[in-house]
Each structure stands twice: as structure tokens, then as C-alpha cells.
Structure 1
Amino acid sequence: MAEVWLVEFLKGTGKVLLNPVFYLVFLAAAFYGVQRVKRERQHFSVRAENAYFELRQLVPLGLLIGIGLSVITITAGLVVPMEMVVFTAAITMLLMLTPKVRWLAPAYTLSLGLLVAYFAIEQQWPLPAFLTSSGVTQSIYPAAAVLIALMVIAEGMLISRNGKKGTSPRLMKSRRGQQIGMHEVKRLWLLPVFLLIPGEALTLTSDWWPVFSIGGNAYSLILVPFAVGYQQQIQGSLPKKAIEAYGKRVIVFGILLLLLSSAVYLYPIAALGIAGLAIIGREFLNYRQRVTEKNAAFFFSKRNQGLMVIGIVPDSPADKMELQVGEVVTKVNGFKVNDEKGFYDSLQKNAAHCKLEVLDVSNEIRFVQRALYVTDHHELGILFIKDEMKRGEKAG
């Protein structure tokens, strides 16, 4: 029996190569990385993370969470219609063409996939045989609702654990025309999950599809690469704190959906209501976050005393001195600083050594110091709020 399952897992894993979403997420992540680097160079004349950062975040955590979800879906016997998988992939590819990566959240893609799949099945749309499932009844839809809830929880975990890494600083003008800073995260994750699909129709088209029986019914096991998109702008607090809080709210929302989805087994058609609720609730969380940030006071703004750190270049002297985003540099080599010119003039007082007095995010003073070398970044790798952006650059 173990050998049979191993063979089916291997065959099911091969299905990921047939899904165009698997390839498009890599292209999209690479595009977001290049786009971010270009903007950072426009605003700060230097980039923070390199253009491959988004690609490096694409798989590791999503793969780990996907393994956990796969265990849950298979153990619980969650069987979803093939039509839902197909339409979710199609909707994902369409939404990738938009500038809003947040629309790739599972609450949108999976919910819309379920709604379209329901009408396709009920109206008997003339779909190719290899894109459909046989013997689909309303009893299969509660499992789809549970899957949506689980994916929303997974999204919240990705946001909380990974979204806070490598947030991108940017500059903009306030309503009063002052230069202020903010942070943006624009992230895409690949979340591969094994799903059970009604398999009898699939066996008619090709022997490639893995098929086995559970409880006397035939199912196919396939690995589906889901894309999970996330985008957030933070101007009123530290990025890590705001993103962690947002991720927790998404997790709580997913748990609520999961509780409601469990009750849907009594009324299978109510799964469509869960899909609608997922879309509305997720959009409400986005709206609430945007309104909160819009009304919040600017955290990254110029100070009367000192310079606020809005970004740190990885592996730079500032990074090695463990300077943090949100801290304020008040003195350089014993001299008080209030602007960038004063900072670099004071830095040149001792070209071989740098000692900084820093006000941390807890409003406590600490001192950091380090020897400077010829190969070090000439600006220590600290990104400050510029007095003015270069002419012709856009802040938005």
C-alpha cells in the first residue's frame, strides 16, 4: 500500500509542470524585483535588496506551509472538483496582468474559481473532458469552502512570517509638500498543495493521471501550484509591527471562515456563500488597513534633531553595526547631525572609524561603532529621507 501511495505522489507531483501558474509566478516575482530596484534607485540612488530578493522569497516558506496543508487536505479527504482548479488557475493568470498583486490572495482567486466552477458544472458548460470531473454532486462543495479557509490561514502565516522581511522604502510628498517616507511590501509566494480530485473522468483521457480509491471511490492526486499575492504600504508605524498585525488579522479571518465552512456540510450549497464572504471579508481587511494608514501620522518624517533611518543596505557597514529601520542617528563621531550633509561631513572627521549615537525605537540611546575600510559603502549603507527628490522623479 505504501508503494502505491508513493507512486501516486510522484505522479501527482509531475502535474505541477503542466500548470502555467507554476512558471508565471517566477516571471512575476522577477518583474516585481526589477521594478522595486528601479524605484529605489530613483528615490535613494541605491537599492536596498537586490533584484533577486523577491525570487528568493517565492518558494521556501510556501513549500513548508504547502506540505502541512497537503497533509490536512489528504487526511481529511477534502475532494474538490477539477473545474475549480482549472478556473482558479485561469483567474490567477488574468489577475497577474493587473498592477494589484494583492488580488492574487486566495480569498479572491479560489473563491472566484469555486463560483465559476459551480456555474460551469450546473450549466454543463462544454469543457474538454480532461478539464472536468465526473460524478460531481453538491456534497463536494463544502470541501472547497474548507480549502478556501485553509488557504486564507496559510496566507496570513506567510504575511506574518515572510512579509515583514525586506520591506522597500520609498519617498513621497505629504499634503503640505513635505518630503516623507514610507515602506511598501509587494510579495508573491508559491504555495504548492496536493489535492484530491474525482478521478474517473481523468482516467479516460490518459494513463498519466494518478488514480487510487478511498472508500470505494476513485480519485486523482495532483499537486496544484497556488499563487499568493500580498501588497501593503505602511506610513504610520514600523513596517514589521504593522505587517505582523495585519497577518494575524488575516489568520483570524481564515479561522472564522473555517468554522463557518464546517457547518456548510449540513447545507452544501452554502459553500457559495462562504466564497462570497471570503471575498467581501478580505476586501474589508484591505480597506481597513488602507484607511488606517491614510489617517495615521507619518512615522518616517524629518526630525528636528537627528536623522531617521528609513532603510539599510544589506551587508553594508550600517547592517553590520545592526542599525534598524526606524532608529534615529543623533550624533556622528561626537557631532550632532540634523541633515545628510552634516552626517557625511561628520563622518569624514574620522575616515578610519565611525561612532554613532542612536535613538532606538524604544526611545533609548545606544552607541554603535565600527572601523571603516576602503571597500565599505561610502554612505555606510543608510537610507535617509532626502531633502528633495531628483527633478523628474515620481514619488508615487
Structure 2
Amino acid sequence: MSVFVDVFDRLGQAFLQGLLQPFYYIGILLVAFHSYKQIQLERKLFSTRLHSMLDTTGRTVLGGLAAGFLGSVAMAFVGATLTLEALWWIWGLTVLLALLRIRFFCMAYAAGVLGMLHEVAALFPSIGEGTWLEGAAASLRDVQMPALIALVGILHLMEAAFVKWQGSRLAMPLFVENKRGRMVGSYRLQQFWPVPLFLLVPMAGGSAAELPWTPLFGGEAWAGGWGFAAFPVMLGYAETTLSRLPREKAAESAKRLLIYAVVVIGLAALAEWVPAMVALASFLVIGLHELLVWLGERAEAQEPPRYVHGARGLTILAVLPRGPAAEMGLEAGEVILKVNGIAVNSRLELHRALSVNPAYSKLEVLNLEGQSKFVGRAIFADDHYQIGIVLCPDEQVRYIASTKERSLVQLWKRSWKGTRAHKGETV
């Protein structure tokens, strides 16, 4: 019983320590700002918003809290000898890397770079003698890389679960220009999770009570006592699809992330047992993550775009939440063939067909299985003929999203560009 009392007491101390650290709050602010910029883009492209800033931020923060709890429990058995200096290194490198690419706002990249810096500092023990570099190099040498790499793997197990669970819900539809210069629809699946971790760490003069288990990493270090340390980090995920439904893309990405996480945990164990493998493990943490990105892009390049209008009908890119189309059960990727018995092949024809019988408009729709279904709903006066869908783009859209990968600084700038004609809007 005394062990559990000691655990809760030291967790409380770590929680108070975490309240004084700015990193977690910075992560939440960045998530909120990223959501705000997404909504700005939605309004520009579609003249409405499809997501709520409060809902999006709330979901990601709750997901991060869940990941923090599960990751902390897992690391209690793995063992972590990570210090406050390691936390500063992780966040400093995370911000610097995010200045290059926003998708680098993920712990995997910072941990990999930190591991290679750790090895450089170990190879040159006299580096920076008599200068501030000496202290920096010493703090690098003190970072326990196997524990940090294991943490990357465990957190990516959580990320795989959240991508499977949340990835398609928060996917953002976009108008983009493909490599052939054609206007097509796409979905951007991009999320960041601020994760508050409370890591069990060996601590000289720490708890007097003995742990009822022995963590995997750390060895004899646990004999001197133990405690908890607040260690907030960021997880990030970014994918774009022109050929898959958001739920299909999220499921595919989740499988790859799961494999990546298992491999990284294996690399952490290898680095613990064979210290000379730390450099290779650190390099692979980054290289394998980049391989995931490349595999996703390669799969997209091999498939034709899905969100385009075919020879018949109008393809739905997105359905507005709680709108008439959502009530009728319409889904992204389905094709509207007829409205009130009239074939529709343009936005103007759709508006005219809806006005034929606003009392109860009946739609013939080709569903995702390639079969026809019939749905209907009254179109009320205050609906303004809006049935709550975003159609795939045509040559008449005025704005399209930029497909250029952005940095943290560029996130402040606009993320769309003008085209030749009229503004895209919901129907």
C-alpha cells in the first residue's frame, strides 16, 4: 500500500512541475492556430466551414491526453532516464525542424536528430572545452537514447490508434491542381497531438519504497530510488489523398504507423543491448518515418484521382455536418445522377433541377458500391437551394489550395491561390 501512496504523491509533484512548463501549452496553442488556419481555408474555398475550431482542438487535446496516459503507463515498465535537459533538446529541435517543414513537428524527427548529435558529442569528448559548447555537449552525452527511441515507438503506437479512430473525422476537403494542371478534389489528413507524459525515472535519493517491478531499461540505476518527471511532447501526422476515401486512407496509414512503431521499439531494445547501434537506430527513426511518407505518395501517384466529375452526374467531395445532405445519408465520393428526374452534369443544372420541386426534391445517386439509390428531402425557403454538399471542382473555381509543403513560418501565410474564373461554393 505504501508503494501506491508514494506513486500518487510523486505523480502529484510531477503534475505541479508540468504546470510550470510552457511546452504543453505551446502545443495546444499551435493545434488551435492550425485549426483556425484550416477553417480560414475552408471558408475561402467553399464559402462555409466544415469543421469547428473548438471541436477539432478539443478532439486532438483529448487524444493527446489519452496518449499521454497510455504512454506513461507503458514507459513505467520500459523505464526512462530522461532529464529536463533532454526535454529542452527535444522541443528546441522540434521547433527548428518545423521551421523547415510543418510535418517535422513530430517527436520522431527531433529524437532522431538528437540521437545523432548524442553520438557526435560522445565521439568528441573534448569538444567546446572552456566554452558554452562544453556544457551543451555534456548534456547531449547524458541523454539516454534507448529510452527516448522506445518512447518514440510507444507514442507512435498511440498515433496509429488515433489515426484509425480520428483521422477521417478531421479530414479536410480541398480543391487542388494535379500534375496535369486539372482541378481535382482531395483530402488532407493532418493532425497534431500535444501529449503530456509523466515518466517514471530513476532518481538518486528518490522514493524510499522499492518498485514492485524492474523496468526494462536503466539497470542498476533504479536501486537509488525513483520518481516521476513531466515530459510533454508533440506527435504529428500528415497525409494527402486524391484517390482514396478519408477512412480508407486513415486505415492504410494506421497500419503503416503500427509497423513503424513496432520496428522502432525493436531498435530501442537493440540500442540498449548494443550501445554502438544508437547512431544507426537514430538514423532509422527518421529514415523509416520518411519511408512512410514516400510510400503514401507513391501509392497516390499510381491511382487515378477519385474526386472528379465523370461523364455522368456530379461527384460529391464533402457533406456538411448536420445539413440536408447529411440527413439524406449522402456521402463523399457518391455521384448525383438525377434531381427530380432531371439529369444533372453541372452546378447550374443542379440548381435548376432543385428548383423544379422544392416541396420535396428526389435525388438519384450512385453510391460507393456503384449501385443507384434514391433519397429525398423538402427544400425549405431558408435553405436557399443549399442541400449541404461540396461538389468536386471544375474549371470555374476561383481558388484552389496550395499543394506546396509548408513550414511553421509559412503557416501564418495564406494557403490558397487564385485561378481564372468564379469562386467555388457549396450547393
The answer to whether the 8 Å contact 1:28/1:96 transfers is no
Residue 259 (structure 1) aligned to one of 259, 262, 266: 266
The residue aligned with 2:238 is 231
What CA distance in whole angstroms lies between the structure 1 residues aligned with 2:321 and 2:231? 34
> Cα distance, 1:257 vs. partner?
2.0
Residue 333 (structure 2) aligned to one of 315, 326, 348: 326
Q: TM-score, normalised by structure 1?
A: 0.86
- Note the 1:223-372 alignment, pairs <5 A: 223-372=230-379
Provide Cα deviations, 1:242-264, integer angstroms capped at 9, x if missing partner. Answer: 12101211111111222233233
> Cα distance, 1:394 vs. partner?
5.8
- Verify: 1:212 aligned to 2:214, yes or no: no
Moved more, 8-17 or 151-160: 151-160
The residue aligned with 2:150 is 146
The residue aligned with 2:113 is 112
The residue aligned with 2:72 is 70
The answer to whether the 8 Å contact 1:170/1:395 transfers is no
What CA distance in whole angstroms lies between the structure 1 residues aligned with 2:390 and 2:160? 29
The answer to whether the 8 Å contact 1:111/1:148 transfers is no
The residue aligned with 1:56 is 58
- Note the 1:195-210 alignment, pairs <5 A: 195-200=199-204
The residue aligned with 2:174 is 170
The residue aligned with 2:417 is none
Question: Which amino acid is 1:83 matched to?
Answer: E
- Verify: 1:191 aligned to 2:195, yes or no: yes
The answer to whether the 8 Å contact 1:83/1:117 transfers is no
The residue aligned with 1:12 is 14
Give SS of 1:343's match: helix
What CA distance in whole angstroms lies between the structure 2 residues aligned with 1:10 and 1:48? 40
Give SS of 1:314's match: coil
> Cα distance, 1:310 vs. partner?
0.3
Question: Which amino acid is 1:11 matched to?
Answer: Q
- Note the 1:31-42 alignment, pairs <5 A: 31-42=33-44
What CA distance in whole angstroms lies between the structure 2 residues aligned with 1:55 and 1:282? 25
Provide Cα deviations, 1:183-223, integer angstroms capped at 9, x if missing partner. Answer: 112211122222134434xx8xxxxxxx4255432334123
> Cα distance, 1:175 vs. partner?
4.2
What CA distance in whole angstroms lies between the structure 2 residues aligned with 1:14 and 1:111? 29
Cα separation, partners in 2 of 1:258 and 1:29, compared to 1, 3 Å: same
Question: Which amino acid is 1:102 matched to?
Answer: R
Cα separation, partners in 2 of 1:96 and 1:30, compared to 1, 3 Å: farther
What CA distance in whole angstroms lies between the structure 2 residues aligned with 1:59 and 1:377? 36
Cα separation, partners in 2 of 1:362 and 1:282, compared to 1, 3 Å: same
What CA distance in whole angstroms lies between the structure 2 residues aligned with 1:395 and 1:259? 38
Provide Cα deviations, 1:60-118, integer angstroms capped at 9, x if missing partner. Answer: 222223212211111333333443222112122333444x3321223212222344456
Question: Which amino acid is 1:294 matched to?
Answer: A
Moved more, 160-169 or 214-223: 214-223
Residue 181 (structure 1) aligned to one of 174, 179, 185: 185
> Cα distance, 1:300 vs. partner?
0.6
> Cα distance, 1:327 vs. partner?
1.0
> Cα distance, 1:333 vs. partner?
2.1
Give SS of 2:252's match: helix
Cα separation, partners in 2 of 1:236 and 1:221, compared to 1, 3 Å: same
What CA distance in whole angstroms lies between the structure 1 residues aligned with 2:236 and 2:297? 17
- Note the 1:83-94 alignment, pairs <5 A: 83-94=85-96
What CA distance in whole angstroms lies between the structure 2 residues aligned with 1:392 and 1:365? 32
The residue aligned with 1:206 is none
What CA distance in whole angstroms lies between the structure 2 residues aligned with 1:342 and 1:320? 22
Question: Which amino acid is 1:361 matched to?
Answer: L
Give SS of 1:259's match: helix
What CA distance in whole angstroms lies between the structure 2 residues aligned with 1:146 and 1:394? 37
What CA distance in whole angstroms lies between the structure 2 residues aligned with 1:64 and 1:351? 47
User: Which structure 1 residue ranges, 5 or more long, are not aligned?
Assistant: 204-210
What CA distance in whole angstroms lies between the structure 1 residues aligned with 2:68 and 2:384? 39
User: Which structure 2 residue ranges, 5 or more long, are not aligned?
Assistant: 127-132, 212-221, 404-427
> Number of aligned pairs?
381
What CA distance in whole angstroms lies between the structure 1 residues aligned with 2:296 and 2:183? 23
What CA distance in whole angstroms lies between the structure 1 residues aligned with 2:400 and 2:64? 35
- Verify: 1:161 aligned to 2:174, yes or no: no
> Cα distance, 1:311 vs. partner?
0.9
The answer to whether the 8 Å contact 2:183/2:394 transfers is yes
Question: Which amino acid is 1:324 matched to?
Answer: E
Give SS of 1:58's match: helix
What CA distance in whole angstroms lies between the structure 1 residues aligned with 2:402 and 2:90? 35
Give SS of 2:309's match: coil
Cα separation, partners in 2 of 1:132 and 1:35, compared to 1, 3 Å: same
What CA distance in whole angstroms lies between the structure 2 residues aligned with 1:88 and 1:293? 32
The answer to whether the 8 Å contact 2:175/2:400 transfers is no
> Cα distance, 1:319 vs. partner?
1.6
Q: TM-score, normalised by structure 2?
A: 0.81
